[in-house]
Amino acid sequence: MALRAPLPSEQESVGALIQRIGTDVSRIVRAEIRLMQLRVTEAGRVVKQAGVGLGAAVLLAFAGFGALTAGIVLLVAALMPVWLAAFAVGGGFILIAAVILLIEVRSVARGVGEVLTPVELAPREEGPYGR
């Protein structure tokens, strides 16, 4: 859609020029809205494609983590029964997750507390004329 307006003639009245300006501004605004819609649509497509890739990466990471867990269980099973090795490895993972969770909860609580703490203003010094 081209945004070309006819050139003003010397005989056009001020009213006609103002009306044409209104029409031109309206066309420009509609074109800008359409352009923004196209940009948002394209951005959504890009995000969707990235989301599919991210989902595939997470799925493969879970599969890899499961394989590593099985390997660790089999390694520990050389020292104890397999069922006990599975519980030991699973318990170890839960213990590590709990420690990380506690650290992060404290970090978030501290950060939120700092953000929500009211800021005290420094007292104003009295000048020669008072406050």
Contacts of 20 (CB under 8 A, 6+ apart): 5, 8, 12
* Residue 29: predicted pLDDT: 94
- Band (pLDDT 50/70/90 cuts) for residue 69 is very high
Q: What is the mean pLDDT of the chain?
A: 84
Query: Can you say whether the dihedral through the CA atoms of 26, 29, 35, 38 is positive or negative?
Result: negative
Asked if residues 89 and 76 have their Cβ atoms less than 8 Å apart, the reply is yes
CA–CA distance, 128 with 49 (Å, rounded to integer): 67
Query: Can you say whether the dihedral through the CA atoms of 25, 27, 33, 35 is positive or negative?
Result: negative
Q: What tokens does 8 get?
A: 């003003």
* Residue 85: predicted pLDDT: 93
What is the distance between the terminal CA atoms of the chain, rounded to a whole angstrom? Answer: 64
64 vs 67, 68, 97, 125, CA distance in Å?
5, 6, 18, 64
Mean pLDDT within 45-56: 85
